[in-house]
Structures are given as C-alpha cells and as structure tokens.
A and B are shown apart, each in its own frame.
Chain A
Amino acid sequence: DIVMTQTPLSLSVTPGQPASISCKSSQSLLHSDRKTYLYWYLQKPGQPPQLLIYAVSNRFSGVSDRFSGSGSGTDFTLKISRVEAEDVGVYYCMQSTQFPITFGQGTRLDIK
C-alpha cells in the first residue's frame, strides 16, 4: 500500500499569513497514463470532507484561488496564500494512483 505522510500534523496561523502543508508518498504517484492522482481535501468541523485540489494542482470548482497545489513524484505541497478564518479544519492529501486508495493522517489548521 502507498503510505501518505503529511507534515506538520497541526499548524496555527495568523489571519492573512500564508500556510503550507507537505504530503509525501512512499511511492511515486505518477501513473502509467502519465497522470498523477493526488488530491487535497478539507474537512471543516462537523462537516464531510470537501475537494479542494485534484491532479496535484487543479483547483476544484468554487475553490478560492488562495489555495494552490504543487509537486510531483512523491513530494506534494498545498499552500494557502492568505489564511482566513473559514479555512479552519483538517486537511487531507489522498492518492488514487494505486489501490487501495489512501489518505494522509491529516493536518489540523487553526487560527491564532
């Protein structure tokens, strides 16, 4: 199974400041079809997860351009350019390059 490791596991950010979350996979997520099946989700308190980023760097419909994804191979990053109060929650990376689909442990973001 591909293990997804996120760092940090928690971060506290002042509104208006940037934030960055790292996700490293135990194997390359580059599929034989040349796509990389790496996603980012945000689970706000008391809610189901919501899709933020798909295929490493593509923002899902309606997602603020403050969110951006980057990376390749085994190293990926989610960046928030200016954190707002509504960004609070747990962020998960997920891969579906190979079954079983696996998630990172989650990174909890709160506001200072």
Chain B
Amino acid sequence: EVQLVESGGGLVQPGGSLRLSCAASGFTFSSYWMSWVRQAPGKGLEWVADIKQDGSERHYVDSAKGRFTISRDNAKNSLYLQMNSLRAGDTAVFYCARATESCFRGDCGPDAFDVWGQGTMVTVSS
C-alpha cells in the first residue's frame, strides 16, 4: 500500500525550531518529487516547499525562504522539513505529498500531488 506518514509536530514557542519527518512506503520514493503543504486551523491549503528526486532542486513559498529547509534521504525513504524561527502564523497541519513529474525537453518539474499523508500538527505559541 502506498503510504506517507508524517511525524515531528508539536507545541513550540515563537522563535523555536522543529523538524518534521515524512516516512514513505509502498512506492519507489527516489522516483518522485515530494512536497510539504500546510493548512492553518479552519483555513485553506498553502504549498510550502518541494524537492526534486535527487535533492538537486528545491522551491519554497516566500514566507518559508530563509527559515525552512526541505530535504530528503532516499536511502531511508524519508522527507524532512526543518523549521526555524517559527512564528504564530506557522501554526498549521503540515501534510507531505507525493508529486508526479512532468518533463519537456529534459526540463522536469512537479505535477499532480497524487498521494497525501494524514498530516502532523504544529502549534507555535508561548
């Protein structure tokens, strides 16, 4: 069964750090782009970051640049999100998602988010 399981969420004080993990199983993890998408309580979806299969390319939403780092360990079938300088506005459920790939003339990028984890809650509060 294709599965993504997030962990690492919790309560952290403003200015603190947290590292989220996403364990993948049931598919060839190293063949897919991976993303983090978050959802603040009662709000909509916000894409946070993604990473190419070999980690050579990463993209971030502006609010995450300089504070969050997405990474992966293909040997461990795991995706990570290191979050520093956390703010109250970062409070959200964080989902990891698998992305299919679309390529054109050798230039490839993420396509549909076809598999999602159940999410892990991050609460930033004093």
Contact = CB atoms under 8 A, between A and B. Distances in A.
Contact of A48 (B60, B61, B119): B119
A36 to B, nearest CB: 11
The B interface is mostly helix, strand or loop, or mixed, namely: strand
Contacts of B107: 33
B113 A49 contact: yes
Contacts of A67: none
Bin the interface of chain A by size: 20 to 34
Contact of A100 (B62, B104, B105, B116): B62
Contacts of B26: none
23 contacts: A32-B104, A33-B104, A33-B107, A37-B102, A37-B111, A39-B112, A48-B119, A49-B37, A49-B45, A49-B116, A54-B111, A60-B112, A92-B44, A92-B45, A96-B109, A96-B111, A100-B47, A100-B61, A101-B47, A101-B50, A101-B110, A103-B45, A106-B45
A105 interface: yes
Contacts of A72: none
